[in-house]
Chains A and B, each alone.
Chain A
């Protein structure tokens, strides 16, 4: 422990991304906080039925919490949760809706993977994740559209958004017929690598609408277009992450497209 390090209490609001069992009755909670980025903290005794805040630390919840540790990252990497208040527990609305639960899981796993370094503030991603869970919980749009919109915007945050309105290789403006995941998006006939996909123009239109937040266009899209869009978004995301997301193949898209 560095000289002068003192364990202090600090407060932040966070989205609960993941919980893992620890020992007899504790949990490790992975949080995406507003001011301190991604953190892992120990919540002691929360698996006991007598726990006073265990229910607030379930995944997908937006919580206001007090942590003990050093916000600067000195000392132990695991902070401990000392108090929790619920802001909005989005998880509650996913419990009776299995497809939305799987989509919320994919959102949280993406957020965790896009913040590889702990305690590095990621305010934009925090707001994006919170917004996605809120939209998924509200149920105003199809769950698959909310998930794909989140993944597209999260990729933009990470710096590898797919090129949709220009050629990913030469930058020629316009919507091109071919789409290549390794090249980085839609590609013009001159730059098209072998094995490129040829999605329907509506699919590229839907990707563009989801990126810009044009929900009128997105909501009017056909189920076949949504399926093709989801396939391209998932392929693009996992190519650039260099590792597959565990939750993405388990997303129940049949119901989500309705």
Chain B
């Protein structure tokens, strides 16, 4: 047990996800021995992230102004909307460079076991966006796990009667993998989603 500021820093670092007491102690002593300019830069970055970052009022992605970078971009089409669970999923899809539409971040997936129902997600706001008539296709890009699939099913039930094309991201074999190591569910999905060559 240390005293004063160093123990306060260890305690605060220890509250971060994935940082145990030993790691917190190591980071704290690294900060103590680091160049003051580096520490100031870290402190400024931490303060700025809380002061400046907010959620985009349109798609609920993280943003530094009223709207995020994607919603402000006039070159992107409003006709295709991609629904994701978290802001980090937007980054993952943007890395592909394949998608030029807009996003809608739900803020999680329906998970009754954790008490998260449709009312806890940005589903009402999604229906409002879809209801304007500008969107022609909705891509459901929730995670390919039980909660993500159930959320996609729920959204499809709500939105299909509105006359939109509702699509789901394909799932199948990872690039670079061996077929013999694929599990039966992934391989089954790959067969379902096979395409003509």
State how many angstroms separate the Cβ of B50 from the closest Cβ of chain A: 24
In the complex the two chains form, is A98's CB within 8 Å of B154's CB?
yes
Q: How far is the CA of A54 from the CA of B174 in the complex (A)?
A: 13
Chain A CB count within 10 A is highest, among B110, B146, B181, for B146
In the complex the two chains form, is A109's CB within 8 Å of B153's CB?
no
In the complex the two chains form, is B153's CB within 8 Å of A49's CB?
no
Interface string of A91-106 (1 = CB under 8 A from B): 1101111100110011
A58 in the interface (beta carbon within 8 A): yes
Q: How far is the CA of A135 from the CA of B117 in the complex (A)?
A: 24
Q: A50-B174, A89-B185, A92-B185 are in contact. Are A251 and B112 (CB under 8 A)?
A: yes
8 Å CB contact of A59 from B113, B117, B157: B113
In the complex the two chains form, is B150's CB within 8 Å of A109's CB?
no
Q: A91-B146, A98-B154 are in contact. Are A18 and B177 (CB under 8 A)?
A: no
B interface, size bucket: 20 to 34
State how many angstroms separate the Cβ of A46 from the closest Cβ of chain B: 10
In the bound complex, residues from chain B placing their C-beta under 8 Å from that of A225 are none
Main secondary structure, interface of A, reads mixed
8 Å CB contact of A52 from B110, B145, B183: B183
Q: A50-B174, A91-B146, A98-B153 are in contact. Are A56 and B183 (CB under 8 A)?
A: yes
A7 in the interface (beta carbon within 8 A): no
B115 in the interface (beta carbon within 8 A): yes
Inter-chain residue pair count (beta carbon < 8 A)? 66
Q: A49-B174, A53-B183 are in contact. Are A101 and B113 (CB under 8 A)?
A: no
Give how many A residues have a beta carbon under 8 Å from the other chain's beta carbons: 34
Contact residues, A1-33 vs B (CB, 8 A): 18-19, 23-24
In the complex the two chains form, is A105's CB within 8 Å of B112's CB?
yes
In the bound complex, residues from chain A placing their C-beta under 8 Å from that of B110 are 250
Contact residues, A55-108 vs B (CB, 8 A): 55-56, 58-60, 86, 89, 91-92, 94-98, 101-102, 105-106, 108
In the complex the two chains form, is A95's CB within 8 Å of B113's CB?
no
In the bound complex, residues from chain A placing their C-beta under 8 Å from that of B174 are 49-50
Q: Using CB atoms, name the residue of chain B closest to A252.
A: B154
Q: Using CB atoms, name the residue of chain B closest to A109.
A: B113
In the bound complex, residues from chain B placing their C-beta under 8 Å from that of A18 are 113
A198 in the interface (beta carbon within 8 A): no
In the complex the two chains form, is A246's CB within 8 Å of B112's CB?
yes
Contact residues, B166-194 vs A (CB, 8 A): 174, 177, 181, 183-186
8 Å CB contact of A247 from B115, B145, B157, B181: B115
In the bound complex, residues from chain B placing their C-beta under 8 Å from that of A59 are 113, 146
B149 in the interface (beta carbon within 8 A): yes
State how many angstroms separate the Cβ of B4 from the closest Cβ of chain A: 31
Q: How far is the CA of A89 from the CA of B150 in the complex (A)?
A: 15
In the bound complex, residues from chain B placing their C-beta under 8 Å from that of A60 are 146
Chain B CB count within 10 A is highest, among A50, A89, A109, A246, for A246
In the complex the two chains form, is B112's CB within 8 Å of A95's CB?
no
B36 in the interface (beta carbon within 8 A): no
In the complex the two chains form, is A250's CB within 8 Å of B183's CB?
no
In the complex the two chains form, is A98's CB within 8 Å of B115's CB?
no
Chain B CB count within 10 A is highest, among A246, A250, A251, for A250
Contact residues, B136-174 vs A (CB, 8 A): 145-146, 149-150, 153-154, 157, 174
Q: Which 3 A-B pairs have the closest CB atoms?
A: A247-B112, A246-B115, A105-B112
Chosen A-B contacts, 13 in total, with CB atoms closer than 8 Å, are A49-B174, A50-B174, A53-B183, A55-B186, A58-B145, A59-B146, A94-B146, A96-B149, A102-B112, A246-B113, A246-B115, A249-B117, A250-B117
